[in-house]
Structure 1
Amino acid sequence: MQLQQLAYFVAVAETRHFTQAAEAVRVAQPSLSKQIRALETELGAPLFSRARGNVTLTAAGEALLPLARRILADAETARREVAELAGLRRGRVRLGATPSLCAGLLADVLARYHGDYPGVELRVEEGGSRDLVRDLARGQLDLALIILPLQSSDPALVTEEILRENLVVASVSDRARRSHMRIDELRGRPMVMFRRGYDVREATLAACRQAGFEPRFAVEGGEMDAVLRFVEAGLGIAVVPSMVLDNRPRLIGTPLVPGLRRTVALAHRKDVEPTRAAQAFRATLLTFLTDAARDGTLPAGIEALATSRIPSA
């Protein structure tokens, strides 16, 4: 089994068309077909069904696809790691992060890292923890900032708790500011709710149900920026991470009683050692949190958990 064959297989699986796949990988279509047949012969099973001109994956193809993607991603990571060791002063960090972190402190961390390592390519994937964990398992990310705890069905990951953040009720700032709000006071209030897959959505639903009621949605299905804009427009209130209200003067955040908090961790696959570029990012992140905690510049509602550690690249 060759990496080239796996790359051809993935291309056909994604396009469901042999000619288009050949164009995507820049090879003649007969050569691609020949390599696919050789791969099927070696594996002892057909990977595609070609009935009536429609190309679909067989059961064997469905089983191979996630493994092939992961193998190809790991091979690319290996190439880049060797290039770093060869002293080429380049590399890549593929980082996943939740929307609240992308809208909050992550930009400052990335700016510091880019200043220290300008030759390293940075790729950021924004999404909910479930999506980020899946992408880590597939080898599509090197590191991810996710919400704990992990589910029992999640792949084996190494997690490092780095901060804890409060969830607050966001509302328009012309309302009277309150010191706190009880969970049961959300009963019957119109709420702006995140799309499925957001960790904040699940935390909000769980807290409301524990208090004995189902929340009433005025709007449902938004991303972070959309939810905040809908609240600003007066469509309802929303439970959000406190850090996202920085630079949102039209919104106020009211703490909940009992408090809702969540823990953010830096995660990577257990079976793959992070590249030197990824290790350097970890060191930069921990140093940034340590400095911000010392200087009192962390966003409101954030507690750094990594300030006692000595970062090491």
Structure 2
Amino acid sequence: MELRQLLYAVTIAEEKSFSRAADKLHLAQPSLSQQIAKLEKEINIILFERSTSSIRLTDAGERFYESASKILDSIEQLKKEMQDMAELEKGGLTVGSLPITGAHILPLVLPVFKKKYPGIQVRLIEEATRALEQLTARGKTEMSLLSLPLADPNLEWEPILEEEICLAVPPDHPLSQREDAEIRELKDEAFIMLKKGQGFRTLASGWCEDAGFVPRVVFESSNIETVQSLVAAGMGIAFVPKMVTRLSTEPLLPRYVALRNPTPCRTLVMAYRRGRYRSRASRVFLDTVQEVLVAMEQASHRF
């Protein structure tokens, strides 16, 4: 069994296609098929069930894929550890991010990081919460920007920001004339929320349920800016992270009301696979994120 054969099998499993895997590996498809057949013969196990339209892993193939993925990731981590020991000035870093949160944080962080560490190339992967957790747990990102709670037990994390949540209301809404409100007052309101599957949607629904009601959702969107525009147009109310209220570039904005008794918050974290070696690049990236967010919070308190 050769290391390259592990890579071939893992790539086929992830691409779910011999042809796409061959393209990604820069191999001729017959050569790839020959290597997999050789591997299956050597271990006396069929890894893939093939049909004219698709392929899928056998039960044994699933086990092989999990173990081979860990082996390949361990080798990649060893490479990074050796690079760090050699104090290389150039390298790469794969960072995962929630699209909405990342859109407000990363444009502040990346220029600072690039200026401080011009030799480190950052590759971004944007996915919804659950998909991003899975990618991070599999080692496909070195670290990912997520919000608590995390569902995957294979992840550990470091907090980077505790963020207050406020209420966005239409300009002519009765609550727009108030400085604050309590969530329990909102039980009869029409809510605009992010789509299910996004972490912030889960948090928002939970805040309402803790206040004793299930929110009546009239519109859903995958974009927080769209949510704000719909609120401003009078279509409903919405929970909005305080960061978004400060950094939004939308021309049509709602009014913002503080929430009290209690004040809902979300905790943003940098998550990574439990027990995984953390490269020097990932550590200095985390330092930069924390540095930028602290500066942002201090600036907001001055105004």
- What band does the TM-score fall into relative to the shorter chain? 0.7 to 0.9
Q: Residue 299 of structure 2 aligns with which residue?
A: 297
Q: Residue 265 of structure 1 aligns with which residue?
A: 269
The size of the alignment, in residue pairs, is 296
In the superposition, relative to structure 1, how do residues 137 and 290 fare at CA in structure 2: closer, same or farther (>3 Å)?
A: same
Q: Residue 192 of structure 2 aligns with which residue?
A: 192
Structure 2 unpaired stretches of 5+: none
Given that 2:102 and 2:145 are in contact with CA atoms closer than 8 Å, whether structure 1 keeps it comes out as no
Find the aligned partners of 2:114 and 2:236 in 1 and give their Cα distance.
Answer: 39
Given that 1:169 and 1:239 are in contact with CA atoms closer than 8 Å, whether structure 2 keeps it comes out as yes
Structure 1 unpaired stretches of 5+: 301-313
CA RMSD of superposed structures (Å):
2.8
After superposition, residues 145-294 of structure 1 pair within 5 angstroms as 145-151=145-151, 154-173=152-171, 175=173, 176-248=176-248, 250-257=253-260, 258-293=262-297
Worse-matched range after superposition: 137-146 or 156-165:
156-165
Given that 2:166 and 2:242 are in contact with CA atoms closer than 8 Å, whether structure 1 keeps it comes out as yes
Q: CA deviation at 1:112?
A: 0.6
Find the aligned partners of 2:61 and 2:172 in 1 and give their Cα distance.
Answer: 58
**What amino acid is aligned across from residue 194 of structure 1 in structure 2?**
L
**What amino acid is aligned across from residue 199 of structure 1 in structure 2?**
G
Q: Secondary structure at the match of 2:263?
A: strand
Q: Residue 2 of structure 1 aligns with which residue?
A: 2
Spell out, residue by residue over 1:119-176, the C-alpha distance to the aligned partner (whole angstroms, 9 max, x if none).
Answer: 211122334443332211111111122222334xx23333222221111111234543
In the superposition, relative to structure 1, how do residues 83 and 216 fare at CA in structure 2: closer, same or farther (>3 Å)?
A: same
Identity of aligned residues (%): 35
Spell out, residue by residue over 1:249-299, the C-alpha distance to the aligned partner (whole angstroms, 9 max, x if none).
Answer: 622321223211122222222321211111111222233344445xx2148
**What amino acid is aligned across from residue 97 of structure 2 in structure 1?**
A
Given that 1:74 and 1:139 are in contact with CA atoms closer than 8 Å, whether structure 2 keeps it comes out as no
Q: Secondary structure at the match of 1:145?
A: strand
In the superposition, relative to structure 1, how do residues 259 and 45 fare at CA in structure 2: closer, same or farther (>3 Å)?
A: same
Find the aligned partners of 2:286 and 2:54 in 1 and give their Cα distance.
Answer: 46
Q: Residue 306 of structure 1 aligns with which residue?
A: none
Find the aligned partners of 1:186 and 1:143 in 2 and give their Cα distance.
Answer: 37
TM-score of the aligned structures, taking structure 1 as reference length: 0.82
Q: Secondary structure at the match of 1:246?
A: helix
**What amino acid is aligned across from residue 92 of structure 2 in structure 1?**
R
**What amino acid is aligned across from residue 255 of structure 2 in structure 1?**
I
**What amino acid is aligned across from residue 297 of structure 1 in structure 2?**
A
In the superposition, relative to structure 1, how do residues 94 and 187 fare at CA in structure 2: closer, same or farther (>3 Å)?
A: same
**What amino acid is aligned across from residue 98 of structure 1 in structure 2?**
L
**What amino acid is aligned across from residue 254 of structure 1 in structure 2?**
V
Spell out, residue by residue over 1:184-215, the C-alpha distance to the aligned partner (whole angstroms, 9 max, x if none).
Answer: 22223221111112222112212222333221
After superposition, residues 49-198 of structure 1 pair within 5 angstroms as 49-51=49-51, 54-80=54-80, 82-83=82-83, 85-86=85-86, 88-151=88-151, 154-173=152-171, 175=173, 176-198=176-198
Find the aligned partners of 1:267 and 1:19 in 2 and give their Cα distance.
Answer: 34
Find the aligned partners of 2:54 and 2:271 in 1 and give their Cα distance.
Answer: 40
Find the aligned partners of 1:233 and 1:3 in 2 and give their Cα distance.
Answer: 58
Given that 1:242 and 1:253 are in contact with CA atoms closer than 8 Å, whether structure 2 keeps it comes out as no
